[in-house]
Structure 1
Amino acid sequence: MADVSSYVPSPPPKWVETFARFGLSAKGVVYCLLGILAFMAAFEIGGQSTENTERSGIFRTIQDMPAGNILLGLIALGLLCYAIWRFIQAVRDTEDKGSDAKGVAKRLRYIFSGLVYGSFAVLAARMVLGNSSGSGGDSRQTLAAKLLEQPFGQWLVGLLAVGTLIAGIYQIYYGYSEKYKKEVQSGGLKHEVEHQMIRAGKLGYMARGIVWLIIGYLFLQAALKSSSSEAGGNKAAFQFLENASYGSFILGAVALGLICYGIFMFMRAKYQPIHT
């Protein structure tokens, strides 16, 4: 007689869920620190400036804490886990996005996210091992400079600018429309927890979108002027906000939104069902 257990589907691999939750937590730490540093810079608390708001500055802040190298090593491992989870989402289609044009586009977005956070993990690991001080300048200016050296370089930087602007607009739309609610509501959470997650996500996605819009605008300026010095990342985006009318308050509001995004990542790590 055949073993009945052979007809019972095996449970999903636990390690995938562990990677996802650990990765989301590490991402939450990074965004909370980014928001805190930006908020301190906005109001010059503790002499803080926007100089430390690039990813290397965030990692240096972690490294300067007690047992900083151990903490940064954990962050590096967590970001690597997040990157691997994103690749699994894309290749195995664990979110059931399908193989039509829309589904493939979303799965490609998972791959891009995995590559970005994988590069963050590598930078953090190199800093732990002492192979990089993280002081190699603005990585986006370097990218813009390399693209401008290529044939049709201005067009390449312009395309990158447009892509970043579209991504920023989508993040704002995604947050404002609360399209992420389905994921939150699928967890069977208490109403109060669900409401808090939705609110944190809304503020977080919109703040993230604003930063991406400014980075896209800076890349566009780099393309139009054929000057890599016009491009920039978080630091340049925050300086752009700080220099506007009521800049400290605008930067402070965006910083609080980024802290909300970090908190949303922590809540996802704890409550979101992970499909494997």
Structure 2
Amino acid sequence: MSVQQTADRVGRSDTLERLARVGLAAYGVVHLLIAWLALQLAWGGGSGSADQSGAMQTLAEEPFGTPLLWVLGLGLIALAVWQLAEVLRQVGGLSGSGDTKKKAAVGVVKSVAKAVVYAALAFTALRFATGGGSSSSGQQQDTTSGVFALPGGRFLVGLAALVVIGVGLYQVVKGLKKKFLDEIDTSKASSSEVRAVTRLGQVGYVAKGAAFVVVGGLLAYAAITFDPSKSTGLDGAMHTILQAPFGRWLLSLVAVGIAAFGVFCFFRARYPQRT
């Protein structure tokens, strides 16, 4: 059996699909928690980090939080495996030419990026489940400081900033052009559900993309000033938005958008597009 056939078989596994559904729902929960933390930050009622680590910490402090974190982590691992199966399935297209090769290359890059994101979130969830979680902002500052110590480190941080900004702009365009509909199978959904999915995706991707652009901007500022403390990740981006004119309302809009993305993930869990 070839690698592509094996990957296709894994991607179509009913067991993996069920676990991936759990992962998609968990991904939605993480975004809802981030949105809640951002709203608390906007209106002066929160002290936790408005990012992934803050969301995990919020879960860890709740009754039955540890079992939930284990479920979340394992579901996200399943999502990462699902995306890796998609990578292997598309690798064969790289040997083609023209549009076929280009489409395969784009698909591989996107699937790898998603697999990395899901795996990183799974790692964070499992660390909090075992009592070893820590602030994402602190970790990013330490990472940036370590990169600065490398030859050409300042250039590497600046390059990373451009990549993050590019990802943010891509998310915004993806939302505005409704490209996210390619990732969800709505053939069995009602017309009202399709409308809801479309609106949630548009709002969610634009808000999430805007947050990424701010994160990338902070990373670029860290590179320009040679100061790793400026690289504060998503939590720092939320604080930066809050400090802008009408920041409380802007941050509230971003929070609502991130919450919309979270609900969109629930629809993706219900109507997943199989690899």
Q: Which TM-score applies when normalising by structure 1?
A: 0.88
Identify the residue that residue 6 of structure 2 maps to in structure 1. none
Identify the residue that residue 87 of structure 1 maps to in structure 2. 84
Query: Superposition pairs for residues 138-157 of structure 1, below 5 Å?
Result: 138-157=138-157
- Cα distance, 1:254 vs structure 2: 0.3
Identify the residue that residue 48 of structure 1 maps to in structure 2. 46
| Offset from partner CA, 1:67-102 (integer Å, 9 cap, x none) | 1111111111111111111111212239x8986134
Separation in 1 of the partners of 2:40 and 2:84? Answer: 35
Identify the residue that residue 36 of structure 1 maps to in structure 2. 36
- Cα distance, 1:27 vs structure 2: 0.4
- Structure 2 segments unaligned to the other structure (5+ residues): 1-8
Is the partner of 2:49 in helix, strand or coil?
Answer: helix
Q: Is the 8 A contact 1:42 1:252 kept in 2?
A: yes
Identify the residue that residue 78 of structure 1 maps to in structure 2. 75
Over 3 Å counting, the alpha-carbon distance change for 1:184 and 1:82 in structure 2 is closer
Identify the residue that residue 13 of structure 1 maps to in structure 2. 13
Say which is worse superposed, 107-116 or 262-271, in terms of deviation. Answer: 107-116
Query: Superposition pairs for residues 1-276 of structure 1, below 5 Å?
Result: 12-44=12-44, 47-49=45-47, 51-93=48-90, 100-130=101-131, 132-135=132-135, 138-184=138-184, 186-275=186-275
Q: Which TM-score applies when normalising by structure 2?
A: 0.88
| Offset from partner CA, 1:97-130 (integer Å, 9 cap, x none) | 9861342133122112212221221222122222
Is the partner of 1:78 in helix, strand or coil?
Answer: helix
Separation in 1 of the partners of 2:183 and 2:119? Answer: 24
Separation in 2 of the partners of 1:255 and 1:137? Answer: 18
Residue identity in the other structure for 2:200: A
- Cα distance, 1:184 vs structure 2: 4.2
Q: Is the 8 A contact 1:21 1:269 kept in 2?
A: yes
Separation in 1 of the partners of 2:73 and 2:57? Answer: 13
Q: Is the 8 A contact 2:161 2:219 kept in 1?
A: yes
Aligned identity (percent) is 29
Identify the residue that residue 5 of structure 2 maps to in structure 1. none
Say which is worse superposed, 177-186 or 253-262, in terms of deviation. Answer: 177-186
Is the partner of 1:180 in helix, strand or coil?
Answer: helix
Q: Is the 8 A contact 1:184 1:198 kept in 2?
A: no
Separation in 2 of the partners of 1:137 and 1:178? Answer: 31
Q: Is the 8 A contact 1:41 1:48 kept in 2?
A: yes
- Cα distance, 1:186 vs structure 2: 4.8
Residue identity in the other structure for 2:84: F
- Cα distance, 1:40 vs structure 2: 1.8
Identify the residue that residue 4 of structure 2 maps to in structure 1. none
Separation in 2 of the partners of 1:249 and 1:152? Answer: 39
Q: Is the 8 A contact 1:168 1:209 kept in 2?
A: yes
Q: Is the 8 A contact 2:51 2:136 kept in 1?
A: no
Q: Is the 8 A contact 1:83 1:118 kept in 2?
A: yes
Residue identity in the other structure for 1:219: L
Separation in 1 of the partners of 2:228 and 2:133? Answer: 23
Is the partner of 1:100 in helix, strand or coil?
Answer: helix
Residue identity in the other structure for 2:116: L
- Cα distance, 1:264 vs structure 2: 0.2
Q: Is the 8 A contact 1:19 1:85 kept in 2?
A: no
Separation in 1 of the partners of 2:246 and 2:89? Answer: 47
Separation in 2 of the partners of 1:126 and 1:72? Answer: 9
Separation in 2 of the partners of 1:40 and 1:26? Answer: 21
- Cα distance, 1:66 vs structure 2: 1.3
Over 3 Å counting, the alpha-carbon distance change for 1:17 and 1:185 in structure 2 is closer
- Cα distance, 1:137 vs structure 2: 5.1
